[in-house]
Structure 1
Amino acid sequence: ATQVLTNATYRSVEHRVMVNADAERLSVAMFYNPRSDLPLAPMAELVSPGAPALYKPMTFDEYRLYIRRKGPRGKSQVESLKAHGDR
């Protein structure tokens, strides 16, 4: 959602883990889910004539359902949400 909110100004980093046979590794997953009807769109401060909105407005529930329906595909999945001039 960060990429959508920032109009692709900020993108998440790639995560890679290297296996280490000599040391244990602990991972903690943390999730934050806002209200399902919360509007999700590029922030107005990051949209201008020179940088038009790349993503259509949607609710958080629409975003979440899109991601779940398509299955985990990483950054290409968020890229597929781009408006592509059909607004």
Structure 2
Amino acid sequence: MEVLSNANYKSVEHRVIVNSAHERVSLAFFYNPKSDIPIEPIKDLVAPDKPALYPPMTFDEYRLFIRTRGPQGKSQVESLKSPRCCSS
């Protein structure tokens, strides 16, 4: 969501509070878009005063990026940012 919203909406960190008196059930859902469709900030959320923070990248390119770098936690999304977006 962070990439699509151009960082207007931040991803939340998943946290769990353990309760030894009750069982806990977790369900994981994965959505994989078509491998050759570009994933990029939504055009309506990009403007001259708010440039795209993330370059377009296909899902295949994203998966290769993650496999190459390994798991990085929340910093994974930050590492996708375009170098030109954040120079001040």
TM above 0.5: yes
Alignment pair present for 1:52 and 2:51: yes
Counterpart AA for 2:73: G
C-alpha displacement at 1:22, in angstroms?
A: 0.6
Per-residue CA shift, 1:37-86, capped at 9, x if unaligned? 01111111000011001011111111122123322222211101111218
Q: In structure 1, what is the equivalent of residue 79 of structure 2?
A: 80
Separation of aligned partners in 1, 2:25 and 2:73: 22
Counterpart AA for 1:24: E
**Unaligned ranges ≥5, structure 2:** none
* 1:42 aligned counterpart, secondary structure: coil
Give the TM-score, by structure 2 length: 0.87
Alignment pair present for 1:61 and 2:64: no
Counterpart AA for 1:62: E
**Unaligned ranges ≥5, structure 1:** none
* 1:32 aligned counterpart, secondary structure: coil
Alignment pair present for 1:41 and 2:43: no
Structure richer in helix, relative to its length? 1
Q: How many residues are aligned here?
A: 85
CA RMSD in angstroms comes to 1.4
Give the TM-score, by structure 1 length: 0.88
Separation of aligned partners in 2, 1:59 and 1:8: 18
* 2:3 aligned counterpart, secondary structure: helix
